[in-house]
Amino acid sequence: MEQFIVSARKYRPATFDTVVGQGHITTTLKNALKNNHLAQAFLFCGPRGVGKTTCARILAKTINCTNLTPDHEACGKCDSCVAFQKNGSMNVYELDAASNNSVDDIRNLVEQVRFPPQMGTRKVYIIDEVHMLSTAAFNAFLKTLEEPPSYVIFILATTEKHKIIPTILSRCQIFDFKRIEVRDMAGHLQNIAQKENIKAEYDALELIAQKADGGLRDALSMFDMISTFSFETGITYKTTLENLHILDYDYYFRMTDALWREDSAEAFLVLEEILRQGFDGHNFIVGLAKHFRDLLVCRDERTIKLLEATEKVRKQYLAQAGMLSPAFIITALNIASQCDSTYKGSKAPRLHIEIALMKIANLNTLFNFDKLNATALAESAKKKLANSDSKPIAQTDQEATAPQVQEAPQNAYMKTLGAIGSIGNLQTIKQQAVQQAQEAKEAQTKEPRPLTTELMYKIIDHFLKVQLKNDVRVQKIFVRPPVIKGEYALEFQLTEAEQEIFKPIENAFLILLKKALYTEQASLSVTTYVEKPIRRIYTNKDKFDYLAEKQPLLQELAEKLGLDIDI
């Protein structure tokens, strides 16, 4: 029985051209070899399983190859390449810093550096997981890293760049590896399946790639597991879902349809089906939030490319996104995100999710999204007619008044959007929205009113008590009242310290001022107030001078009488 070799090892890239999804790295390294511009030290950074160590090994092999191809790749046939492929190269040393992270380990490495290569021209040291070195080990390595012998090249690899001290970073040429894209990963898996004569549905391979989250090594591990499970039937979308324990897109489409139809009962049944299959409630609500995000992405042709899904699923997303209103999607996304953030603190997790689902299911009734959409479409049509050369079509009374009727509720909806996420009474939120809409409508019909001292103090009192909850620090600013500079203008005279306190709340006060005066012309300005130094009176002479300033005749009397003021 032959020993099984995992795909991650069996199909490990041997040349730069076979590296998956890191073209920006491999092209740079090949050009450096071509122009003989190799740095003395490289630092490869990035997530796990994206090819850092693989690229380091390829670079080390290519540096010592004695018969490079015209494309500056290692030939794989010379003595140096053959020795490397058999793990017997005397010029390439690999050190795992996770288990060799002490000062002594680095000192041993530095001792080896002193000896030139016995064959070939370069010695290459690959230090993996370099962030695991101790601070003392890093310091012992600094001098050698900065001024290594001409025949030595260091290649450091890490998943946690932020843990490496700046003095090491400044001595290296840094390469940032990116997460491998789903399309590239799925294509690589498809090539492996063909070489292994494994039947595999492309949708299933894309699902594996999405689950791997940018790490090719993880994707290959999952590929091996699923191919073993489905040895006779081949890798199918269904078996992949079952093995990776992934919630099928279909559940989220069904759930969204039920919520849009305001069918809470159906939504609860879908949730029950999901939980009965052993899926975690938290994972479901996270997936639902992502589903709404993907629907939002599909509403604009420019952002469809951000959707990572198969062509079949992509069509489903486009169809459902066209059915739902943007307002519904955004609000539902907000509710799902709030449920996600508060899920772990809930003592009744399932009830927590069900409340969130009920909120989403009642959104259409709460804000009447259909009418808001109709209004938006009507406004869009009017703008197109206004910009066209054709004459405008006559409107009915109902069409003419619709935008004005809906404008205030739509603004109110945007104001209360954030409040919906918290667990509370939907009816209360609805009442707040109606009240804000009524206030907005009344403000449009009222005549502007000029500032008076009495009105100014009322505005300040409301601002401090209602909006700032009697913030003591801010109250000191209003001890010196502002000055009325016109019908709708106020001037604050503040010290530099007071101005720093006032800056963050200046815009909020201006909004309140405009609202109170029923005009957008309301304005405020700030001037610097210079405090007069307090005069201290200590001696009799100080007292006399102070009184003489108040009564000039006192100074004249003292001179006539020849009085000498005691100090």
- Extents of the domains making up the chain: 7-176, 182-244, 249-334, 369-385+400-445, 453-528
Give the strand pairing for 92-96 and 41-45: unpaired
Range picked from 78-87, 155-164, 541-550 for highest mean pLDDT: 155-164
Q: What is the pLDDT confidence band of residue 420, given thresholds at 50, 70 and 90? A: very low
Tokens of 199: 């039947």
Question: So what's the pLDDT on residue 277?
Answer: 85
Residues contacting residue 10 through CB under 8 Å, at least 6 positions apart: none
Q: Is the pLDDT score of 111 beyond 50? A: yes
Q: Which helix (H) or strand (E) holds 54?
A: helix 52-64
In the sheet that holds 173-176, the strands lie side by side as: 92-96, 123-128, 152-158, 41-45, 173-176
Residue 397 has pLDDT above 60, yes or no: no
Round the average pLDDT of the chain to a whole number and report it: 80
Phi-psi region of 422 (alpha: psi -120 to 50; beta: other; left: phi over 0): beta
pLDDT digits (tens, 9 = 90+) for 163-195: 888 888 888 889 999 888 888 888 889 888 888
d(CA 544, CA 551): 10
Q: What is the pLDDT of residues 442-482, one digit of tens each?
A: 555 678 888 888 888 888 888 888 777 777 778 878 888 89
Q: How many of the other CB atoms lie within 10 Å of CB of 48? A: 12
Q: What is the pLDDT of residues 241-267, one digit of tens each?
A: 878 877 888 889 999 999 998 888 999
pLDDT of amino acid 567: 52
- The whole-number pLDDT of residue 406 equals 45
pTM score above 0.95: no
pLDDT at residue 157, as a whole number: 92
Comparing 230 with 83, which gets the higher pLDDT? Answer: 83
Fold equal for 182-244 and 453-528: no
The two structure tokens encoding residue 69: 């191809």
- Rounded Cα gap, residues 494 and 502, in angstroms: 9
pLDDT at 294 over 70: yes
Nearest Cα neighbor of 43 from 136, 177, 133, 141 is: 177
Q: Is the pLDDT of residue 3 over 80?
A: no
Q: What is the predicted pLDDT for the residue at 288? A: 92
Fold of the domain built from segment(s) 182-244: Helicase, Ruva Protein; domain 3 (1.10.8)
CATH 2.30.30 for domain 453-528, yes or no, is no
Residue 300, φ and ψ in degrees, nearest 5: -125, 130
In contact, 165 and 138? CB cutoff 8 Å = yes
- The structural architecture, per CATH, of the domain 7-176 is 3-Layer(aba) Sandwich (3.40)
